[in-house]
């Protein structure tokens, strides 16, 4: 009987972690639907980029208020996880505060730090909520945030409040029990379990303010509250873990690989399409035989589409980008097209890509393999009006705090429109015709290129 | 202006068995657009004054393919690129200077993979070098007391992280350089990039160039400095729309320096 809580805890832990792992496997499977891309070059720069931008949050603080608040929650999250580790070990072994005897006074410092961070996180979360729901901040009011994305953002904040509240209440009642034991009020064996040695274990700078609320309760009541909070807190964390996959909060893990894999070449350098290079070289080669039969070994392969019509045509880093996006909208807030009221929003490009990827994944889950649903990312999720509004100015790429590149997706889709569908806006067709015929986007004669020199 | 400046072509250099010190890549806008031609001429005057042995391709120059590539037409881009690379490599060109950030970006970043490897320099960096090495001197007196704001072209700034060269040049003019709310890496696009120059904008509340020009006007500047012929066109249109013609000028950094020197 005495091991039942430990067994329940172990089952819960294994079950929830496995479910999370199975969703992550699905996510990886979905990402692999994209084209392979080699981003394993310049490793040193990649590690340092990851250390600076992901770990060091260097781009977050470019917006000082949101950046500072985020750093508080980030540091709180990372450090409080040390306590979660202790809670998990306690749960599995049936111990209470197993780290305390080993760490001595360091433990007090740790618990005090957790408490202060938990409190700061609470304050920050309230500020975040206010920014999102009360203050009219433009990037939180965009059309792509209506419905689930807005709720998702708020749920996370409520979650944080509950978790931090439970954590502090747990500590407050723990302290009340310890005080009762040390002053001789509580003498049962169960109560003794809370005390290591003959002084208070842990230091509780925040929850000690809450302890007086529980002063007159019996040990049994305190024990019930403390255990209930302990269980609710750890189960809450496991639920939170599983919620990640369904929310915009995957970034807490994916930001790291995403930044590592981000583009290192100058922002102005757009990818070279090698399939096109081969064709252009053939065209320009005076010795090429235009009637040559294709190589036998390449005959069976359907040539890959030029550009991107659907998620299958995007590369795996672009798909990882979509899962990593936190929908903060810094990209959209800097986008010249969006600022001036056009439909284009780089954030929506990322959200649409993820939605489409998830829809495709859901079909694979259901059918066992991909069955065409008659939809594509282009047109059914992202419209041509959005794509043609982009000035390729890279403001979105520069703004993203975690290295997402919405512009590369826009470009790949434009390429599909032009190279596969010949569907450029008419004025651009005229421009391209001019370039082809006169070597300039306007209808001037190439022979007149030096006329300006006569005006000197 | 007694002496008429001659603009030699690379072919003329080669005919005399010489190599130019640098190839000046004029670009389509600089070759054909009336406003941009003034930038080209100002830059040539500065090259001439500094005694730079430059040459142009003239009729052998063709669009770099930048607008085609940004519009998604990789095929046309690569055709243009390979033709130009053939010309450039044929003349064994090593160094290229250009006054257009779009040409600059394409030549510098997108030609190497297609076989074109050159040292490509934007004219603001080039001018800064000429001054640093003493080949060109400027006296700023003419702009004393004037307020100048500088608009970062996307393909010079964010795309290639050149923010300081044009600013350093403006500061040499003894003018007050005032920054817009959004500048350097946060600089707002003029609205021309990504082949937008050649099409009508999508439906919205405002044109991008108007938004950017308004921001420039907010600084109270007398002059909006640009370093890209397309930005120049967009901002000039913005000034017209704001009915500030004659009050606020849009000038390329090369023009500012040439004006300071009464060239």
Q: Which of A189, A201, A38 minimizes the C-alpha distance to A109?
A: A201
- The residue of A62, A393, A438, A454 whose CB has the most chain B CBs within 10 angstroms, and thus the best one to mutate to test that interface, is A393
The phi and psi torsions of A107 (rounded to 5 degrees) equal: -60, -40
Indicate if A410 and A322 belong to the same structural domain: yes
Indicate if A164 and A284 belong to the same structural domain: no
Compute the distance between CA of residue B194 and CA of residue B105 in angstroms, rounded to an integer.
13
Compute the distance between CA of residue A102 and CA of residue A107 in angstroms, rounded to an integer.
8
A423 contacts in B (CB within 8 Å)?
none
Which CATH number goes with the domain that contains A415? Answer: 1.10.1060
Identify which has the larger pLDDT, A47 or A188: A47
Domain total for chain A? 2
CA A406 to chain centre: 14
Interface membership of B130 toward A (CB under 8 Å)? no
- The residue of A413, A449, A454 whose CB has the most chain B CBs within 10 angstroms, and thus the best one to mutate to test that interface, is A449
User: pLDDT per residue over A379-391, tens digit each?
Assistant: 999 999 999 999 9
Indicate if A347 and A208 belong to the same structural domain: no
Q: How close is the nearest chain B Cα to the Cα of A321, in Å?
A: 20
Indicate if A233 and A285 belong to the same structural domain: no
Full-model pTM: 0.95
User: Which residue range is the domain that position A116 belongs to?
Assistant: 4-31+63-260
Compute the distance between CA of residue A228 and CA of residue A170 in angstroms, rounded to an integer.
8
Is residue A42 one of the residues assigned to a domain? no
Is residue A239 one of the residues assigned to a domain? yes
Residue A284: per-residue pLDDT: 85
User: pLDDT per residue over B70-95, tens digit each?
Assistant: 999 999 999 999 999 999 999 999 99
* Burial label, B77 (beta-carbon count in 10 A; 0-12, 13-18, 19+): buried
Tell me if ipTM is over 0.90: yes
Indicate if A91 and A220 belong to the same structural domain: yes
Instruction: Indicate yes or no: CB of B76 within 8 angstroms of CB of A432.
Output: yes
Is residue A249 one of the residues assigned to a domain? yes
Interface membership of A344 toward B (CB under 8 Å)? yes
Indicate if A86 and A15 belong to the same structural domain: yes
Residue B136 · residue B130 · CB < 8 Å: yes
User: pLDDT per residue over A38-60, tens digit each?
Assistant: 999 999 999 999 999 999 999 99
DSSP H helices, B8-57, are 10-15, 27-32, 34-49
Contacts of A133 (CB under 8 A, 6+ apart): A154
For residue A416, give the DSSP letter: I
Interface membership of B159 toward A (CB under 8 Å)? yes
Indicate if A99 and A248 belong to the same structural domain: yes
Indicate if A211 and A285 belong to the same structural domain: no
Residue B99 · residue A262 · CB < 8 Å: no
Provide the edge-to-edge strand list for the sheet that holds B176-178: B176-178, B147-150, B223-226, B249-252
Interface of A with B in 364-423 (CB under 8 A): 385, 388-395, 397-398, 411, 413-419
B109 contacts in A (CB within 8 Å)?
265-266, 268-269
Interface A–B counts its CB contacts (< 8 A) at 220
Compute the distance between CA of residue B137 and CA of residue B49 in angstroms, rounded to an integer.
10
Distances (CA, A) of A134 to A125, A128, A137, A138: 13, 10, 9, 12
Indicate if A343 and A369 belong to the same structural domain: yes
User: pLDDT per residue over A249-304, tens digit each?
Assistant: 999 999 999 999 999 999 999 999 999 999 999 888 888 776 776 665 555 567 78
Distances (CA, A) of A130 to A122, A133, A137, A147: 13, 5, 10, 18
Under the phi-then-psi rule, with left for phi > 0, alpha for psi from -120 to 50, and beta for the rest, what region is B51? left
User: pLDDT per residue over B212-236, tens digit each?
Assistant: 999 999 999 999 999 999 999 999 9
Residue B1: per-residue pLDDT: 47
Residue B261: per-residue pLDDT: 83
Chain B residue with CA closest to A330: the answer is B186
Indicate if A220 and A318 belong to the same structural domain: no
Distances (CA, A) of B14 to A1, A364, B46, B53, B257: 96, 64, 23, 13, 31
Under the phi-then-psi rule, with left for phi > 0, alpha for psi from -120 to 50, and beta for the rest, what region is A294? beta
CB-nearest to A336 from B65, B69, B191 is B191
User: pLDDT per residue over B164-196, tens digit each?
Assistant: 999 999 999 989 999 999 999 999 999 999 999
Interface membership of A268 toward B (CB under 8 Å)? yes
CB-nearest to B202 from A276, A343, A447 is A343
Q: CA angle at residue B66 from B62 to B72, to 5 degrees?
A: 125
Under the phi-then-psi rule, with left for phi > 0, alpha for psi from -120 to 50, and beta for the rest, what region is A218? beta
Is residue A51 one of the residues assigned to a domain? no
Is residue A278 one of the residues assigned to a domain? yes
Q: How close is the nearest chain A Cα to the Cα of B242, in Å?
A: 16
Is residue A40 one of the residues assigned to a domain? no
Is residue A36 one of the residues assigned to a domain? no
Compute the distance between CA of residue A167 and CA of residue A175 in angstroms, rounded to an integer.
12
Contacts of B61 (CB under 8 A, 6+ apart): A439, A449, B25, B26, B31, B84, B87
A269 contacts in B (CB within 8 Å)?
105, 109-110, 159
Sorted by where each starts, the structural domains of chain B and their CATH numbers stand as 10-130 (3.40.50), 138-260 (3.40.50)
Chain A residue with CA closest to B39: the answer is A452
A284 contacts in B (CB within 8 Å)?
79, 82-83
Residue A298: per-residue pLDDT: 55
Is residue A50 one of the residues assigned to a domain? no
CA B119 to chain centre: 16
Indicate if A282 and A400 belong to the same structural domain: yes
User: pLDDT per residue over A222-249, tens digit each?
Assistant: 999 999 999 999 999 999 999 999 999 9
Indicate if A231 and A378 belong to the same structural domain: no
């Amino acid at each position: 009987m005495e091991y039942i809580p430990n067994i329940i805890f172990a089952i819960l832990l294994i079950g929830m972690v496995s479910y999370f792992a199975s969703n992550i496997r699905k996510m990886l499977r979905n990402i692999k639907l994209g084209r392979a891309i080699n981003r394993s070059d310049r490793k040193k720069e990649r590690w340092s980029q990851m250390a600076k931008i992901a770990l060091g949050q260097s781009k977050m603080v470019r917006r000082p208020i949101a950046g500072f608040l985020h750093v508080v929650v980030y540091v709180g999250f990372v450090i409080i996880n040390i306590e979660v580790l202790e809670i998990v070990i306690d749960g599995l072994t049936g111990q209470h505060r197993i780290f305390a005897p080993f760490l001595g006074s360091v433990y007090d410092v740790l618990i005090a730090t957790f408490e202060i961070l938990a409190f700061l996180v609470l304050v920050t979360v309230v500020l975040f909520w206010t920014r999102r729901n009360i203050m009219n901040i433009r990037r939180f009011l965009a059309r792509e945030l209506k419905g689930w994305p807005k709720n998702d953002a708020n749920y996370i904040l409520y979650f944080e409040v509950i978790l931090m509240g439970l954590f502090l209440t747990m500590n407050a009642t723990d302290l009340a029990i310890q005080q009762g034991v040390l002053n001789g009020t509580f003498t049962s064996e169960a109560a003794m379990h809370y005390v290591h040695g003959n002084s208070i274990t842990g230091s509780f700078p925040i929850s000690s303010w809450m302890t007086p609320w529980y002063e007159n309760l019996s040990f049994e009541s305190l024990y019930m509250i403390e255990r209930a909070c302990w269980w609710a807190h750890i189960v809450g964390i496991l639920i939170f873990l599983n919620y990640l996959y369904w929310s915009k909060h995957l970034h807490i893990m994916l930001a790291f690989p995403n930044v590592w894999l981000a583009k290192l070449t100058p922002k102005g350098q757009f990818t070279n399409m090698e399939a096109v290079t081969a064709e252009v070289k053939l065209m320009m080669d005076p010795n090429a035989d235009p009637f040559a039969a294709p190589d036998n070994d390449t005959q069976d392969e359907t040539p890959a589409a030029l550009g991107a019509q659907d998620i299958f045509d995007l590369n795996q880093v672009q798909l990882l980008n979509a899962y990593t996006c936190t929908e903060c909208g810094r990209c959209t807030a800097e986008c010249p097209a969006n600022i001036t009221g056009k439909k284009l929003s780089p954030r929506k490009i990322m959200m649409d890509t993820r939605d489409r990827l998830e829809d495709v994944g859901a079909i694979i889950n259901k059918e066992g393999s991909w069955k065409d649903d008659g939809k594509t990312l282009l047109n059914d999720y992202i419209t041509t009006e959005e794509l043609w509004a982009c000035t390729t100015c890279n403001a979105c790429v520069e703004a993203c705090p975690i290295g997402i590149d919405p512009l590369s997706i826009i470009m790949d889709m434009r390429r599909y429109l032009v190279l596969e569908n010949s569907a450029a806006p008419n004025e651009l067709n005229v421009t391209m015709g001019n370039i082809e015929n006169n070597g300039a986007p306007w209808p001037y004669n190439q022979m007149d290129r030096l006329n300006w020199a006569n005006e000197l | 202006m007694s002496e008429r400046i001659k603009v030699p072509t690379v072919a003329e250099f080669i005919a005399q068995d010489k190599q130019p010190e640098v190839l000046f890549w004029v670009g389509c806008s600089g070759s054909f657009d009336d406003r941009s031609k003034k930038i080209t001429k100002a830059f040539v005057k500065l090259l001439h004054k500094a005694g730079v042995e430059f040459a142009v391709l003239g009729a052998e120059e063709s669009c770099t393919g930048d607008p085609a590539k940004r519009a998604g037409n990789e095929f046309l881009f690569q055709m243009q690129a390979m033709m130009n690379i053939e010309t450039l490599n044929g003349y064994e060109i090593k160094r290229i200077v250009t006054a257009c950030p779009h040409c600059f970006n394409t030549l510098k970043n997108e030609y190497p993979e297609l076989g074109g490897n050159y040292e490509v320099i934007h004219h603001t960096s080039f001018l800064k070098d000429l001054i640093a090495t003493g080949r060109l001197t400027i006296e700023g007196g003419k702009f004393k007391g004037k307020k100048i704001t500088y608009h970062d072209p996307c393909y010079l700034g964010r795309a290639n992280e050149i923010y300081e060269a044009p600013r350093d040049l403006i500061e040499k003019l003894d003018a007050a350089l005032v920054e817009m709310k959004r500048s350097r890496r946060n600089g707002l696009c003029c609205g021309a990039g990504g082949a937008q120059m050649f099409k009508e904008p999508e439906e919205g509340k405002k044109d991008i160039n108007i938004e950017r020009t308004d921001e420039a006007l907010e600084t109270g500047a007398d002059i909006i400095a640009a370093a890209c012929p397309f930005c120049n066109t967009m901002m000039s249109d913005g000034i017209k729309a704001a009915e500030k013609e004659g009050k606020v000028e849009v000038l390329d950094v090369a023009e500012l320096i040439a004006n300071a020197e009464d060239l």
